[in-house]
């Protein structure tokens, strides 16, 4: 598939894959062992579906993105045969510019690796920018959050080199501020934008008089596994950032071997990059062919776009005269009709929740007296 094309599980689903989330079967169910484990079955099903889609959709571009990201971390952390990082370098010099800048007085090989690492970082974000155009705005927020967390750990380690051990209250400020920025941008901004875009998409494009079809559409567009990966990415990012800052925080002369922290930094850094690619890919894959951008409702309102009002209940109306009827349609697509014998209600054709009387499938209009099916009270009238 060409890089400029936008994948989707909706309009071009038949061309991309024959499998939907609700169609995926898992080899075992935890619910069979304990009914309280049923929510985990839903999550396992989603991860199984994500794995199938990744095996079909990901190719050379995604492999290149993760490969360049891994290379950027390894080049930046490489110290074998150099000793620049493990020895602490010349801690009296610091900065990037000027004749006395510490960056210009490091070992020549270290300087070369640092520059190559910087180029690889630029390539990594450039590939993400071009590969996932619908998530570009969210990529900027996640990148800002990444730098905030890393800077926060550097600030905390600058006053407590063994952070969080033996750290005082003030030493936690960098960590706290960095993670507050991470939570706000990742959860309040990005997560909310994807969730609300999904909600608008399902409500507008998957509306159907049959509640079973609507319920399946909501299931097919579930974001539980994606949300879990976003949370995992935040945790991995913290671990990697802490290990990276911890590895270079000791004051010279450095007596302890910090190789383990460098390995932890590189390992969780690479994992967080792979998760970032997934976080950007899945919303575009799910909504790409139907949405021009992935934004929160508030962002759409600020941009002057029309946002349909989200309603949990919809009043039915007579298809003949247009007068409101007693039928109610809930957000999940289910329809409720009052019982003719008591104060209970239920779906057409089912039994009443109070007296077990069969709920009628037709309603007589109190205005014009016409008897019509309940489903017709929620269908759009034709314009002639």
Taking only the tens place, the pLDDT of each residue in 310-335 is: 555 677 777 777 777 777 777 666 77
pLDDT at 301: 62
Least confident of 114-123, 326-335, 355-364: 326-335
- Which of 267, 301, 335 is the C-terminal boundary of a domain? 301
Query: Tell me, what DSSP letter sits at residue 358?
Result: B
Q: Mark whether 233 and 341 lie in a shared domain.
A: no
Residue 2, pLDDT > 70, answer no
pLDDT at 95: 64
Tell me which residue of 222, 216, 215, 249 sits closest to 89, measured CA to CA: 249
Average confidence (pLDDT) over 58-77? 94
Q: Mark whether 148 and 196 lie in a shared domain.
A: yes
- Which of 254, 273, 301 is the C-terminal boundary of a domain? 301
Q: Decide if 89 is inside a domain.
A: no
Tell me which residue of 336, 339, 380 sits closest to 359, measured CA to CA: 339
d(CA 135, CA 65): 15
Q: Decide if 97 is inside a domain.
A: no
Q: Mark whether 319 and 291 lie in a shared domain.
A: no
% of the chain with per-residue pLDDT over 70? 79
Neighbours of 368 (CB within 10 A): 12
Q: Decide if 84 is inside a domain.
A: no
- The three-class DSSP label of residue 141 is helix
d(CA 248, CA 27): 46
3-class SS shares of the chain: helix, strand, coil, % to 5? 60, 5, 35
Q: Mark whether 246 and 149 lie in a shared domain.
A: yes
Average confidence (pLDDT) over 362-384? 68
Q: Decide if 121 is inside a domain.
A: no
Judge residue 85's burial from the number of C-beta atoms within 10 Å of its C-beta, 0-12 exposed, 13-18 middle, 19 or more buried. buried
Q: Decide if 32 is inside a domain.
A: yes
In residues, how long is the chain? Answer: 384
Average confidence (pLDDT) over 148-169? 90
Residue 6, pLDDT > 70, answer no
In angstroms, the Cα distances linking 338 to 313, 318, 326, 352, 357 are 15, 16, 7, 8, 11
Instruction: Answer for the pair 72, 121: CB distance below 8 angstroms, yes or no.
Output: yes
For residue range 68-118, what is the model confidence (pLDDT) as tens digits? 999 999 998 887 777 777 766 666 666 666 666 666 667 778 788 889 999
Residue 150: give the domain boundaries.
13-57+132-301
Q: Mark whether 35 and 164 lie in a shared domain.
A: yes
Q: Mark whether 142 and 168 lie in a shared domain.
A: yes
d(CA 256, CA 267): 20
Q: Mark whether 163 and 204 lie in a shared domain.
A: yes
Q: Decide if 259 is inside a domain.
A: yes
Q: Which two structure tokens, joined as six digits, stand for 29?
A: 């169910």
Q: Mark whether 194 and 273 lie in a shared domain.
A: yes
d(CA 337, CA 83): 76
pLDDT at 310: 55
pLDDT at 384: 25
- Which of 252, 279, 301 is the C-terminal boundary of a domain? 301
Q: Mark whether 146 and 183 lie in a shared domain.
A: yes
pLDDT at 121: 95
Which residues, including other chains, have CB under 8 Å from residue 337's CB and lie 6 or more apart? 326, 327, 328, 345, 346, 347, 348, 359, 360, 363, 374
pLDDT at 11: 46
Average confidence (pLDDT) over 154-181? 90
Q: Mark whether 295 and 317 lie in a shared domain.
A: no
Residue 234, pLDDT > 70, answer yes
Residue 263, pLDDT > 70, answer yes
Q: Mark whether 144 and 255 lie in a shared domain.
A: yes
Q: How many folded domains does the chain comprise?
A: 2
Average confidence (pLDDT) over 294-318? 65
Tell me which residue of 362, 360, 366 sits closest to 325, measured CA to CA: 366
pLDDT at 381: 41
Average confidence (pLDDT) over 178-187? 96
Which residues, including other chains, have CB under 8 Å from residue 48's CB and lie 6 or more apart? 24, 26
d(CA 346, CA 70): 56
Q: Mark whether 223 and 363 lie in a shared domain.
A: no
Tell me which residue of 273, 266, 288 sits closest to 127, measured CA to CA: 273
Residue 146, pLDDT > 90, answer yes
pLDDT at 204: 76
Residue 231, pLDDT > 90, answer yes
Q: Decide if 308 is inside a domain.
A: no
pLDDT at 5: 43
Average confidence (pLDDT) over 190-214? 80
Q: How far apart are the two ends of the chain, measured CA to CA in Å?
A: 42
pLDDT at 14: 36
Neighbours of 109 (CB within 10 A): 12
Residue 7, pLDDT > 80, answer no
Backbone angles phi, psi at 316, to 5 degrees: -75, 160
Least confident of 19-23, 163-167, 203-207, 235-239: 203-207
pLDDT at 13: 38
Alpha-helical (H) ranges within the chain are: 13-16, 38-57, 60-77, 84-87, 108-131, 136-159, 173-183, 192-205, 211-220, 224-248, 259-287, 297-302
% of the chain with per-residue pLDDT over 90? 34
Residue bearing the bigger pLDDT, 308 or 66 = 66
At 159, the pLDDT band (50, 70, 90 cuts) reads: confident
Mean pLDDT of the chain: 80
């Amino acid at each position: 598939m060409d890089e400029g094309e936008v994948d989707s599980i909706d309009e071009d689903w038949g061309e991309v894959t024959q499998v939907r989330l609700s169609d995926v079967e898992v080899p075992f169910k935890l619910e069979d062992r304990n009914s309280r484990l049923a929510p985990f079955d839903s999550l396992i099903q989603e991860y199984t579906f994500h794995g199938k889609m990744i095996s079909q959709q990901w190719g050379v571009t995604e492999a290149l993105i993760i490969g360049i990201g891994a290379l950027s971390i390894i080049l930046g952390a490489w110290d074998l045969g150099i000793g620049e990082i493990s020895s602490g370098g010349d801690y009296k010099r610091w900065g990037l510019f000027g004749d006395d800048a510490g960056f210009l007085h490091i070992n020549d090989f270290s300087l070369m690796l640092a520059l190559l690492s910087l180029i690889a970082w630029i390539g990594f974000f450039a590939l993400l920018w071009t590969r996932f155009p619908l998530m570009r705005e969210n990529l900027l927020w996640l990148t800002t959050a990444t730098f905030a967390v890393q800077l926060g750990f550097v600030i905390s380690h600058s006053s407590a080199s063994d952070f969080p051990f033996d750290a005082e209250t003030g030493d936690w400020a960098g960590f706290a501020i960095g993670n507050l920025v991470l939570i706000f941008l990742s959860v309040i901004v990005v997560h909310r934008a994807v969730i609300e875009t999904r909600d608008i998409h399902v409500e507008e494009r998957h509306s159907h008089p049959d509640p079973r079809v609507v319920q399946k559409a909501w299931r097919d567009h579930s974001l539980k596994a994606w949300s879990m990966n976003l949370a995992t990415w935040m945790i991995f990012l913290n671990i990697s950032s802490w290990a990276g800052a911890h590895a270079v925080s000791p004051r010279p002369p450095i007596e302890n071997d910090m190789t383990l922290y460098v390995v932890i930094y590189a390992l969780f850094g690479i994992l967080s990059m792979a998760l970032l690619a997934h976080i950007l890919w899945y919303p575009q894959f799910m909504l790409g062919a139907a949405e021009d951008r992935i934004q929160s409702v508030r962002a759409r309102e600020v941009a002057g776009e029309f946002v349909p009002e989200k309603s949990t209940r919809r009043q039915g109306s007579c298809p003949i005269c247009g007068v409101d009827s007693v039928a109610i349609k809930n957000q999940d697509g289910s329809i409720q009709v009052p019982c003719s014998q008591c104060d209970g209600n239920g779906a057409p054709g089912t039994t009443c929740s109070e007296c077990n009387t069969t709920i009628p499938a037709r309603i007589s209009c109190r205005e014009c007296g016409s008897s019509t099916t309940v489903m017709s009270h929620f269908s759009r009238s034709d314009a002639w």
